[in-house]
Structures are given as structure tokens and as C-alpha cells.
A and B are shown apart, each in its own frame.
Chain A
Amino acid sequence: MNWSIARALRIIGAHPNVASVDKEIVADNGAWSVEVTVKVGLPNAWMAEARSPNGVRAIEPVILVFPANFPLRAPTICLRADFDRSLAHVQPGDPGDRPEPCVVDGNLSELLHRQGLAGILNQLVLWLENAALGRLIDPKQGWEPVRRDDLAGFVVADAAALRSLVGRDDGAATFGFDYLALVDNDGERSVYGEMGPSRLTLNRGTIGALIAERASRKSPEVRVGHSLAVVAWPGRHPSGDLVIARRYQPETVTDLGSLMARAADYGCARALRDTLNWLTTCLAGHRDNARFPLVVVLCARRPFHVIGANSAIELCPYVVDIGPPAFLALGDRTPVQPIGHRHAITPDLLRRLSGAGGAEETLAWVQVGCGSLGSKIALHLARSGRAPSIVIDRRYLSPHNAARHALAPEVGGMPLHWIDAKATAVAEAIEGLGQKAIAVKQDVVAITRNRAAAKKHLPKKAWAIVNATASLGVREAFGSMPPDIDIPRVLETSLFAGGELGVLTVEGPDRNPDTLDLMAEAYSCMRADDALRPVMFGSDDTVIRQVIGEGCGSPTMVMSDARISMFAAPLAETIMRMQNTSLPENGGRLLIGQVAADGLGLSWSGYAVPQVAVVGVEGPGDWSVRISARAAGKIAEDVRQWPGVETGGILMGRISEPARTFYVTDVLPAPEDSARSPHEFVLGTSGARRAIADYAESAGYSLFCLGTWHNHLGASGPSGTDRTTAAAVALARLAPSVLLIHTPAGYRALLADAAGATPPASEEG
């Protein structure tokens, strides 16, 4: 077990809701799993029963599975096997597996990098409590759509148009359906298609022309055809009240019988049955004996808006094979499969997602992240003949990307191309601009950990890597490269605070300062700037403090395409200028841009960031300290002011666990009651805690106390006193600390880490 896991176990043990951590840590294929019991805050009366009426226990066993690349990637959370799977926000999975709760809307690893393991545990506790209280569906966040684990294809449909069919009375309508049908090696058929825009009137005379299927000319294994789609919606109860489907249920429809039962739950069974009966009648005389996919879309009226939509109508599509003469060959046992719904791209969707309520030689460089900002920068540069030679992004385009991606879906036909890999799509667009880029559809974090992949996709000879992923995980990965993998300098472009701030960091020669040094420096500069601080750290909707937890905020900031372009344009200009001249030759560079109050102007501050001093830390785990020029300057000045005695102070900055590095951005002076003598420096306490807390709070805890520094008058390393102090400091906090020593012969450093000092449980035995 490594120190990161050991530290994680200490943090878990210190969490107020963790009742116990199992001593037995199980190793499995590089991963480590540990059983933890979590105290769940139930109402008094349920505490008395030790469980909630829906079966959540006051003490819940939970298994945390730490992947081999923790802390780059978050642990997986598994509940006990008999935990109720029918609750909302449980990840899809096989009935035999332990259920995994969906504790955060977004990426758990991003939450890990943002709030640490404590953030994940806090979310887990909240999730369990909400599960017990029946609050997993949060009206503010929206209704959780039915969880559907196994889809047999998808149907593209204009959601707004379908929802507009739903009125006060129940009903059903029939539409055309153009599709591709694929049969895989197991004989499983999947269907992909798009619903036509207008309602059809069916009769025996017209139906024949509406249904046909043939083999694709290009790929004979693909069938191409047109068929029908039936949409059924709910009406009113006999009392006159609207039928509202208030009960969350996972997908259980497997055949026509269960489909009709589900339709009855939603209040649209009558309309659906009438329409299917009429279809049967119309098809009775149809002579073609082939079978066709019939799409059935059930509309469920929910008590409040569905997540990701501005409507309370949830669309639940299914597909059933039909064919004459029996129409539904097996009656109620005719198999029915759930299929996914893909939005047809509509103006409504785009308005909503944009948050508006509506040189001559080719320069090889790598673009990582082909999302909204990355695609714009890549295409700005491609339009200037400076396209990246390699584009990396593991994600795929989905309809919401149309709101802000530099690429736009094409008109006409089925928008099936809009499901391609982002890297492929951007590479194709670049090709359209007469240049060539290699598309890499892999996880860049994995590439940074694989020598051969890194050599191929992040070649050292490239001009630079532009990281536009907005991923803390990717930044950490670039900042913690294995020593045997060399990559070019990294430039990072990021937007913060809902698009109020933009940052460009440019690594120095030999990657010093590196991308993590520069971001720590960015936090430091923003903390010290009266105009930037409140924007970055002050309000509720900044990225640093963005609430991912209660109510599950989206990890993507809501902002318009134009706002991203405000930053994308000058960022692309700056990158292009550096391509045309050179990268900085002394140290790195940091640019921070802020949108003016009128929303029109953009002001940029530039900072030259000198190289940092890198010092190895004595102690387990191969840690290092990187000391900014600012901090080093203050330390040197303090030592000059106190000749003949030892002096010291408090280190402030950040920690990266993947990089096992302390980033010292600043130092706080020693408290007034500190004592200096030729043989010893005693760091006092007066006012120190307030000063440290004020500093960390003013930086939104992006910068915090790292440990202490003091000097030795001779070129000696850590003394016995230093080691004793390190041990005391280590025990008093969960995060590792460092004792930095300034000597006439350079810096020395000592690790203070209880996770390292105490052998992990499994190694004791």
C-alpha cells in the first residue's frame, strides 16, 4: 500500500460520520479496497429502529475501491449488495453487483481534486441521508429521468415538439421513423433513427407506403428503412386532476405487457392501446412479411421539471418489432426494449445550454482538450494556418456541445455525425481547412503515465502542449510526470468564475516553473489583487467554490459561446504570437484577464514568473518542495535581518499529492512571541492562527499553511529538535507538512507526515 492510500485512510478515519474503517485492506489487481461503516443521520424515531422505513441503515457498510492511479483518479463507492437499487441516482449495473451511488452530478475525480477525499465522503453521507429521507430527487435540481441500463439504440426527436403535444387530455400521435438497424455477433438488433417532423394519418391504404426496409448498399449488414413511431401522453383523473407520475422507478419494461403497465402508471395506457389496435387493423392486409421496428414514446408528467429540461414531461422511448399479419407476434409477451432519446438540435436546446434563457514552416504542437475553449483556440489557429498537429480528447460530441463548440452540426439528414469523438471532429474540421491533425481519442491522463504513448502523442520535439481541458486531473498529471517521460512545455488556458476570468500559463525552459507552480502563482496573484479576489474566491458561483454537492451543480460553467470567444480570441492571438517569435526564455509567464464591469472590455495583467527552487524532502515518499521567488526572497531578507541567530516563519502554498510536491508561494512572518537564539528558533503563537486562517480563507483555501521554515547558521541538515518538531507537526494534521531549512549551502527540507510515520495497517501484520 502506498502513502497516498495510507493518508486517505487517515482522512477517512477522521471523518465525523465514519464509524469505523476495516483493518483489512484488500489488494486486487493494483487497486485497494477498504470497508468503511458510515453513520447516517436519520430522524430520531428511525434511529430508534436503526433503519429508515425504506431500508437505509443508521450504520451503512460502504466499500471504497481505490484505483491504482489514486489520487489521480477517485475511489469507486460501492454499497452493500442488498441496498435498494430502485432508488434514484444509483449507477446502472448488474443486479448481482454492489450498487454504486451517484453521489455527484459530474466527475468524481474532479470532485477529488477540488475538495479532496473529504468532499467525496461528505457527498456520500449526504446521498445516504437523502436516500433515507426520500430526497434524492431534489426539486431544485430537477426530476431524475428513469435510469435505463441497457439501451437497444436511440431515436433522435425534437423534444420540445413532442412535449408540446401534451395537453390536459390524454392522446397519442403517429410519426414517421427513418432508421438504421444493426445486428451484432450475438444476433442482438439495435436501431438508430430519427422521427419525422409531422403527424401522420393512418389507414389501410396509406400504411403500405410508410413501412419498408432494405440492406444498405454500402454495408450489407446494416438495414436501412422507414417505419412508424407512436407517442402517447397522459390526461386527467376522473376527479379532473392531471395525472402526475410521482413515483421514481427504474426501467423494468421487457415486453408489451410491462410496457402497457408502465403506460398505465403514466396515465397514457388507453391512448396507446387504441393506437396500437388501429395499427393492427391497418396492417392486417399488408402483404410484406418483413418485421419492422416500431418506436413507442411514453410521455410521463412529473411533479416538477426533468433534469436537463425546462419541462416536467419526461420522454421514455421503447422499440418493439412488428410485422403482419399478427402485428404483435406474441401478444403481451412480445419483447420490448428501451432505447435512448437523443435531442434533435433545436434553437430551444441551444438557448438553454448557453445560459441565455435563452511563419511559413509547419509548427508541430499538441492541443489537449477539444471542448468549447480548446476547439475555438484550435480552429482560430487552424484558420491562420497554425493548426495543431495532434489533437487529444477522449470525449464524444453530444447535443449540448452544439451550444458552445466551435464546430456546428450540418443541415439535412440525420445528425448522426454529431456523436463522433471530439478529437476526430476537430481533426476533420482542420482537414477541411487544408491541414492535417492526428486525432487521439484517449484519456490524456493515461497517456502521461505510459512512456510509449507519451512519446507518440506528446512528443518532446513538439513546440508545446496547449492544455484546454479545464480538468484539474489533467493539470495534476502534467505536473507530476514520471521522471523517465519528457514532454514539451505546457501552456494552460482556463476560464474561471463563470467566465469572468481567464488565465494563460506558460511553462519556463525545462518546465520550470511548471504548470502547477504557475497555477499556484495565479491563485497567489488573484488573492493579492483587490479586484480579482472577490471574483475568484468571493462569490458562490466561482469554480473554486462551485457547489458540486447539494443539488448537484453541473461541473460545466454556464456561459455563452460569445463569452468563451471573448477569451478564446486573445488567448489564440497570444499563442500565435509566441509561435511566431518564441516561448519565454527566462522563467514562465502568467496572464490573467478579467471582463470589465460593462461586460465589454477585457483587461489583462501579465506576470513574469521566475524559476522556482526545487528541494528534495527527507523522509518517505520522495516528496519535494518548490519555492517561488517571492517566498525565497522573503526568507533571504528575514535571514539578513537576523544575523547571528536562527530565525524562521510560516510557509503558505499548495500541495499536489500526485506530484508529491509542496508549492510554496509565500511566507508569513514569525509571530511576535517567537524566540531567536544562535542555537534554536522557537516559532511563537501570537496571532498566528488568525493570520493563517485569514490568508487561507482569502484564497478560498486554494492556498493554505504548508509548514514552517527556519535557518541554520552552518551548513547542517535537520537537527534532533527539528525531527521532534516534525513529528509533533505531523501528528497534529491530516495533510502532510514540511519543515524547510535555509542554510548557507542551500535549502534542506524534512517531511512531517503522520501517514508516513505510522506504518499502514496491512503492513503491520
Chain B
Amino acid sequence: MVAKVLFFPVANGDMTLIVLESGRKVLVDMNIRAAADDPDDDTPDVAAELRKRLTRDEQGRLYVDALLLSHPDQDHCAGLRKHFHLGPPSEWSKAADKIFIRELWSSPLVFRRASSQHTLCDDAKAFNSEARRRVTRFRAASWSVSDGDRILILGEDEDGKTDDLGAILVKAGAAFSQVNGQYDPSMTARLLAPQPRSDDQDEEELRSKNHSSTILNFALAGDGVPDAGRFLTGGDAEVAIWERLWQRYCAHPDWFCYDILLAPHHCSWHSLSYDSWSDYGEDAEVCQDARSALSQTRRGAVVIASSKPVRDDENDPPCIRAKREYEAIAKAADGSFICVSEHPSEKNPETVEFEVGRYGPRLKSKPMKAAAIVGAGSIGSQPLAHG
């Protein structure tokens, strides 16, 4: 069996499905915009794309084995309430037919008070209350917790708030092979961030400004070969986070090593440099430590930008200068750079799908569909005048 890593076309946002060789499915973030749910809109219907790739359990529920929210920004959790079941498993309804989340993967941020600088969107608030509900269930019932109530906390929180969560807590720097409470030999994921809370107020503020996100490096088995593919994903983490991670773990470059990198923060320049692209332009300097953290490539590595098409302009993200830097990183490994919104074409972006077999990851080719030839074309897409 091959493993798969799929990037859905969600413009500036993230939505990645990892299908392990064991068949278990881990969804990392989502950005299911209202337009994607409108059949008359050209925005790809990513919810339908996701549902097609999931299976139903004995109770008829479509499910993911784990859902990771890298950080609580709208472009990483939009559509959560509309498309996913939240609340006790017993309240799942067939009529609503929402996707069932067997296990939630959350950062310890859910335990903190709402930040004055950062107001949460409704989907993020819903994620937090679901995470707290599951932690409460764990504290009350511990080992008897089952599908739909499970949670894994990725990283420790301040003041010992997470100290009693031993069995469901993964500490920064540790690797784990556990999905939905089960040991899964086809995956080992190393947690690189978030790092434990710092006592230094300035440091915490810097982290907060740098979009502290959960950073995981997945080692995936394919065709029975362990570690056949590596996938490094880090939400919106920006330069200071990557710089400090490299300073802390540079003795373990393998922890950063990847075949597929999801370019942080939708190909933002701020993940590679302290200098603003719009202010400094070509004079902006790359932070070498952050670059080191993001350039531990395996041969032929591919960097993915889950962003709008990258234009040569002042916008950031996505930023043309960041794209050039990632292309250079990929080129050094004879690899490539793919922007999800431009694949296979900007006009009709489709899910970017990698298959991880014994020879490592490979970008799957897209068959040409009947609809591409006998689809309605402009009929129904634009008003057509007939004289």
C-alpha cells in the first residue's frame, strides 16, 4: 500500500490530507470557504473532494482518524462547524451527515485566555471548546475514552496546566507513532513546535507575532518501506520560530529533513526574513538560521505553496521573493516548487496529490476527464447573447 499526501486548492489557506499506509487519515487544517460550497461558483468544492476520499464507519459516519489545527486562524479552520461534527459522539446526526473526528490534535494554546491582540473567529472558538470538552472527558474518564472523544495535546503549556495529561501529551522534540489512540507503524511524526512557554515576556510576544503554529515532520511508510517519505508542515510559523528551532535543534538536521515541504504561511517572505518585502524589496535579507531549518531537503524535494497564484508584485503572502528562495532551495536538490492554485493550471486548479511508495513520494498525474472535453464550456458560465 502507498501512503498519500494531498493538498486541496484553498487559495491562501491550508488544507492537507495525509493518508497513511495503514489507511488511517490525518487532516491538517481546512479552509472551506463559503464560495467553495456554492455550486454556481468556480471555487473548487474542496469539501466534496475531501468527502470523496474518506470512508464511513460501521455507523455510517464519514470520519477522519485525526484532525490537526496548526493554529486558530480563519484560513486554517474555516468550515469546521459546517462540515465537521463537534460535540459528544452520541449527538452525531445522520441527517446532517457531518464528518466525524475520531481524535483531535491540538496545541496547548486552547488552555490560554483569549489574547488581547488576537480575536478568534467562530470556527476557532468552536475548535477550542471541542478541545476543552475532550480534555474534560479525558480527565474524567481517562482510559475509557473512545472514538470521537479522543484528543492529543501537541506541546506543553505554562504553569503545569498540562502536567496531568501524560498519556495524551506529546512534548516538543519528541516523536510519536500514535493515531487515534493506536500505535501505527506506518507513521512517525516529530513535534518541533510549539516549544514550552517561555518566562521571558518579550520572547512570548515575539512568538505570538510570529504566528506560533504546530510544526510536525511526518515520516511516512510506503509499500512497506519505513520512512519512505518525509512531509514537513508548519502552519503559519514565521522567521523567529524557524530561527530559534534551528538554533535549538541544529545538532539534529534530520529532524528538519523533508521530501515535501508545505511552505509556511502560504509562501510568506516573513518565514524567511525579518525584513518586510514591501519596505525593503530586493534588499531584504534572508535569515540564515530560518533558511537552514527550511532547506534540509532530500533528493528531488518538492516545496508546496498553499496560496493564491504567486505574482511578481508587492503582495505577501504569497511573495515572489519567497517563491524564488524556495525554488533555489528545491533546485539545490534538483527538486521543484508547486503552487497549489496553479496546478495543473491556474484556470482549473485541482488537488495536488502525492503518492508515497517504496521509491519515495511521487506527484500523481491527473487523468483528463470527460468533462474537460464535453463539459458545458461557456454555457452556464457566462451570459450568452443570441440575436
Contact = CB atoms under 8 A, between A and B. Distances in A.
B336 A683 contact: no
Nearest to B336: A47
A49 B377 CA distance: 39
A9 to B, nearest CB: 13
B333 A48 contact: yes
Given A16-B365, A44-B301, A689 B376 contact: yes
Contacts of A679: 387
A129 B362 CA distance: 10
A721 interface: yes
A705 B370 CA distance: 12
B368 A722 contact: no
A739 interface: yes
A701 B39 contact: no
B380 A688 contact: yes
Interface stretch (B88-96, B120-128, B206-214, B353-361): B353-361
Given A44-B299, A655-B374, A732 B381 contact: yes
Main secondary structure of the interface of A (DSSP, over half): mixed
Given A42-B362, A43-B361, A683 B386 contact: yes
A713 to B, nearest CB: 11
B379 A650 contact: yes
A44 B386 contact: no
Contact of B377 (A680, A687, A732): A732
B383 A43 contact: no
Contact of A689 (B39, B336, B357, B361): B39
Given A683-B384, A685-B383, A724-B385, A43 B300 contact: yes
Contact of B362 (A15, A43, A720, A724): A43
A622 to B, nearest CB: 21
Nearest to A53: B359
A708 B380 CA distance: 10
Interface residues of B, number: 45
A133 B357 contact: yes
Given A43-B362, A44-B300, A689-B39, A733 B376 contact: yes
Given A48-B333, A680-B386, A681-B386, A729 B377 contact: yes
Interface residues of A, number: 70
A226 B332 CA distance: 70
A741 B260 CA distance: 54
Nearest to A710: B386
Interface string B338-367: 000000110000000000010111111111
A129 B365 contact: yes
B141 interface: no
A729 B384 contact: yes
B384 A48 contact: no
A707 interface: yes
Contact of A734 (B40, B260, B302, B372): B372
Pick the 3 closest A-B CB pairs, nearest first. Answer: A721-B387, A733-B377, A688-B380
22 contacts: A11-B368, A14-B368, A15-B368, A16-B365, A41-B363, A41-B364, A43-B300, A45-B298, A45-B360, A118-B372, A122-B367, A125-B365, A691-B380, A692-B376, A701-B374, A705-B376, A720-B387, A721-B386, A728-B382, A733-B373, A734-B373, A735-B373
Interface of A: 11, 14-17, 39-49, 115-116, 118, 121-122, 125-126, 129, 133, 646, 648, 650, 655, 671, 673, 675, 679-693, 696, 701, 704-705, 707-708, 710, 719-722, 724-725, 728-729, 731-735, 737, 739, 741
Given A47-B300, A693-B371, 7 more contacts: A16-B345, A683-B379, A686-B40, A690-B39, A728-B382, A729-B379, A735-B373
